[in-house]
Amino acid sequence: MTNSKELFSEVVRQITLPEAKAEIESIVYLLFEKKWKLTRTHIIAETKTGLQLNDIMPLIDRINSHEPIQYILGEADFFGRVFKVTPDVLIPRPETELLIHEILKNTKSIDKPNVLDIGTGSGCIAISLALEMPCVVQAMDVSLNALKVAQENATLLSAPVKFYLQNILQQPIIEKFDLIVSNPPYISQQEKQHMKQNVLNYEPHTALFPIGDDPLVFYRVIAQSAQQALNTGGSLWFEINEHYSKEVSEIMITNGFGDVTVVKDWNGKERVVWGKKLA
């Protein structure tokens, strides 16, 4: 039998990522808990386990190649739920939970709104909204493989969401909605060189980078389409690149949205922009 605390420390030593020790430890804690049900409490208590270092080495090799731990585990936590993730979808980020919190806080007065999530990926936004508030939710994505993951998540979590294939850059929104939300690709080409390998080498580029040289192309197209698709008084919600809050706000104002609000995340970064259709 192996001491789980000693095994944990050895696994941490075997990981060669250029990250702070605390970050590496958090990855290993997650691996131990999700894969073998060995929690932080078990490790601190030096619980005995039949697990050996050799059993873990294949996973350590994947971690050392910068593969995200969420893809290795096949799941990610988001808004208190576990979502399936594959390399076909972006890994749900804690920052995106702010989008859910703000929508829930600011749309209580609307009775069972019709909601559209554009670029749904894993479905984490659409599914969370469907389960957290009385609403009717649809979600679109340009990737059929992403939609398959999203549908599987909706089935696993018993969320009533209708998913469909659509490229928002080529096809406008036809139906009417009370709330439209999107976390579109927003990383500029200039930012690529500063990105970590675990993101750049593994996560889907179609979900990270806008097409062409305009990092705001999705915001322009969605805001214009939403102006036609939203009912009067309906709201448009974006997660944004922290560097472009002013530009996204101006796009929304130009397209007939009022009360445009920028919300900072817990790191003080401008992360959400939303507004209401005026007429």
pLDDT over 90 percentage in the chain = 84
Using DSSP bridges, classify how beta strands 270-277 and 257-264 pair: parallel, antiparallel or unpaired: antiparallel
Between the alpha carbon of residue 249 and those of residues 238, 255, 261, the distances in Å are 10, 10, 8
122-160 residues labelled b (16+ CB within 10 A) or e (exposed): bbbbbbbbbbbbebebbbbbbbeebbebbbebbeebebe
In this prediction, residue 190 carries a pLDDT of 65
Report domain extents, the chain. Answer: 2-65, 88-277
Lowest mean pLDDT among 118-127, 161-170, 185-194, 264-273: 185-194
pTM of the model: 0.92
Is the predicted pLDDT of residue 245 greater than 80, yes or no? yes
Residue 165, strand partner residues: 141
In this prediction, residue 196 carries a pLDDT of 72
214-242: average pLDDT: 94
* Domain 88-277: homologous superfamily in CATH: Vaccinia Virus protein VP39 (3.40.50.150)
| pLDDT tens digit sequence for 5-51 | 999 999 999 999 999 999 999 999 999 999 999 999 999 999 999 99
In this prediction, residue 209 carries a pLDDT of 63
249 burial type by CB count under 10 A (0-12 exposed, 13-18 middle, 19+ buried): buried
Report residue 234's pLDDT band, with 50, 70 and 90 as the boundaries. very high
**C-alpha to C-alpha distance for 173 and 116, rounded to whole angstroms:** 9
248-277: average pLDDT: 96
Q: How far is CA 63 from the centre of its chain?
A: 21
Q: Which of 225, 241, 240 is nearest to 277 (CA)?
A: 225
Average pLDDT taken over every residue of the chain: 92
**C-alpha to C-alpha distance for 88 and 15, rounded to whole angstroms:** 26
Is the predicted pLDDT of residue 204 greater than 90, yes or no? no
Report residue 56's pLDDT band, with 50, 70 and 90 as the boundaries. very high
213 phi and psi, to 5 degrees?
-95, -5
The span from the first CA to the last CA of the chain, in angstroms, equals 69
In this prediction, residue 109 carries a pLDDT of 79
218-237: average pLDDT: 95
In this prediction, residue 90 carries a pLDDT of 93
**C-alpha to C-alpha distance for 215 and 208, rounded to whole angstroms:** 10
State both tokens at 81. Answer: 């739920």
- Rounded to 5°, the CA angle 11-14-16 comes to 130
DSSP H helices, the chain, are 4-14, 21-36, 40-44, 53-64, 69-73, 94-106, 124-132, 144-156, 197-200, 205-208, 217-229, 245-254
In this prediction, residue 279 carries a pLDDT of 73
Is the predicted pLDDT of residue 211 greater than 90, yes or no? no
